[in-house]
Every structure is written in structure tokens, then in C-alpha cells.
Amino acid sequence: MDSISFNTGRMYTAFGQPIVAVKLCDTLYFVDHARHISGWVKVGDTDPLTKRLVLLNYDANAYEDAPEYIGSDMLEVDDFAGILEASSDIALTKLQS
């Protein structure tokens, strides 16, 4: 499992647009904390998790809404929430410093 957090720099909030993503095998999950959007999309199993991969799918609206699917694809909801919370805490700390 890989995870990434970054800020797009788009000014949806005073802190920009922090996004956290997790890739498990061929599935990419993401949360946009500024816009309260979460989703998932199937990607290549060998595709590296990058900001470009996340934004390519996010900006093209090429994803499914995550909440109803999170628990069904290798992750329990609590595990996913914990991963994203930890990653977003790191991202927000970096943004505020």
C-alpha cells in the first residue's frame, strides 16, 4: 500500500486544497479535504502513486464516490479513515508551517 499527500495550490480554502490518496493494488482512493470529496478509481497495478495520477483521474471526474465502496475493496472503513487522517494531519501541519 502506498500513500501520498499534497496540496494542489488551488485556493478552495485558506490552506489551499490538501489531497490525500492511498493506492492498494489496482485501486486508488483519495480524499479532497477542501471540497469534502472522496472517491476511488481503478488504475494500473504497476502505476506508481503520484500527484499526476491522482489529479489526472480527479480533474477528469473519472472516479466513483468512495463512501459506499471503501469497505468492499480490501480495506475496512476504519482502516481507510485512519490512514487518511494520519496522512492529512501531516499534510495540514506542513501547510500551516
If one compares 61 and 35, the residue with the highest pLDDT of the two is 61
Q: Which domain holds residue 54?
A: 2-96
Domain count, the chain: 1
Q: Percentage of the chain with pLDDT > 90?
A: 43
As a whole number, the mean pLDDT across the chain is 78
Cell of 61: 471526474
Report pLDDT digits (tens) over 30-41. 988 888 888 999
Enter the pTM of the model: 0.69
Please check whether residue 77 is in contact with residue 68, taking contact to mean a CB–CB distance below 8 angstroms: no
The edge-to-edge listing of strands for the beta sheet with 27-32 is: 2-7, 18-24, 27-32, 37-42, 64-65
| pLDDT at 90 exceeding the cut of 60 | no
Calpha distance 8→78 (Å, rounded): 26
CB 25 within 8 A of CB 45: yes
Identify the residue with better confidence: 91 or 42: 42
Smallest CA-to-CA distance from 84 within 14, 11, 1 is with 1
